[in-house]
Structure 1
Amino acid sequence: MKSIIYLLFSFLLISCSFNQIYKDQESDKKDGEQITQKFYWEILHGSIQDNIYNLFSEKFFEVTDKEKLNELLSTTNNIGPIQDFYLVKWETLVVKGSDARSQYLFTYDVKRGTETTHETFSMEKDENGDIKIVGYNVSQDLSNK
């Protein structure tokens, strides 16, 4: 009888997942901000085509092709050139253990000429340990026009 109990207990332990969950840590925020900083640097100073694509995950391009991304970047550039950008909201979730994952959400107010856009980045750490953009959303408040 004892051996059955030990066997059942062993199966229970094996089937359990052991995870450590970290939410909204400052160090994770800094890691995610490096990607958004690179994104804005490339728009302001770099070659958009190649270097910006490297910041995006394959998951992103499964939903949005490079042509659509170029259209979005062109449209936002037509609103006005980036003068400044401010992080207004951020969230991170890092799970270490048997169900490991890292997710980041950053929202910026971006001053473009006389207009402001609200730009949200969803990011995940990939299998190589690199943080990549999986979602990029741009919105603009048109109620004051």
Structure 2
Amino acid sequence: MPFTSCHLNSSRTNSEEDKQIAEEFLLDYFSNQQMDSTAANFRLFSKQFWQVSPREKMEKMVAKRNEILGRLKSTELGQWQTVVVSGSDPASKYVLQYKNKYEKGEAVETFTMRREGAHDSIRIIGYNINSDAFLR
């Protein structure tokens, strides 16, 4: 007997509402960062992220960022992209790029986030920081 399945999905791309959901999630991240709560921020990263990025390396990267750039002063959303799939196989992906000002310089920080199911929490699956201050 053959197995068949039916997947009914719909998707939307670059919805302002989805962008706002991702921005609200990252407000927690930036608030934790300003309070030096690295442990709270690390809980916002997915299990998938930790499988490829050792915690010790992230701790060193955060310490180096804080040493070179200082405290976070302000954030400004730059480019962003969202894709949300609804239906029998729901999934959401968000990519937000911030132009952030720190005490000692500026950085462009890109966050890639995912929500696997309709009721799952958003989690960070990718993080990248670029700053000319790292080249000094």
Shorter-normalised TM range: 0.7 to 0.9
Report the residue type matching 1:67 in the other structure.
E
In the TM superposition, 1:64-83 aligns within 5 A as 64-78=53-67, 79-83=69-73
- Secondary structure of the residue aligned to 1:111 is strand
* Counterparts of 1:55 and 1:119, CA distance in 2: 16
In the TM superposition, residue 47 of structure 1 has moved relative to its aligned partner by 2.4
Structure 1 residues not aligned, in runs of 5+: 1-10
In the TM superposition, residue 19 of structure 1 has moved relative to its aligned partner by 1.3
In the TM superposition, 1:39-54 aligns within 5 A as 39-49=29-39, 51-54=40-43
Contact 1:110 1:117 in 2 (8 A): yes
| TM-score normalised to structure 1 length | 0.81
- Secondary structure of the residue aligned to 1:99 is coil
- Give the corresponding residue for 2:128: 137
Task: State how many pairs are aligned.
Answer: 131
In the TM superposition, residue 15 of structure 1 has moved relative to its aligned partner by 4.5
| TM-score normalised to structure 2 length | 0.86
- Give the corresponding residue for 1:55: 44
Report the residue type matching 1:134 in the other structure.
I
1:48–1:114 Cα change, 3 Å: closer
CA distances 1:31-58 after superposition (whole Å, capped 9, x unpaired): 1112211111001015222x11211100
Q: Which structure has the bigger radius of gyration? A: 1
In the TM superposition, residue 16 of structure 1 has moved relative to its aligned partner by 4.8
Contact 1:126 1:132 in 2 (8 A): no
Report the residue type matching 2:41 in the other structure.
I
* Counterparts of 2:124 and 2:116, CA distance in 1: 10
In the TM superposition, residue 80 of structure 1 has moved relative to its aligned partner by 2.0
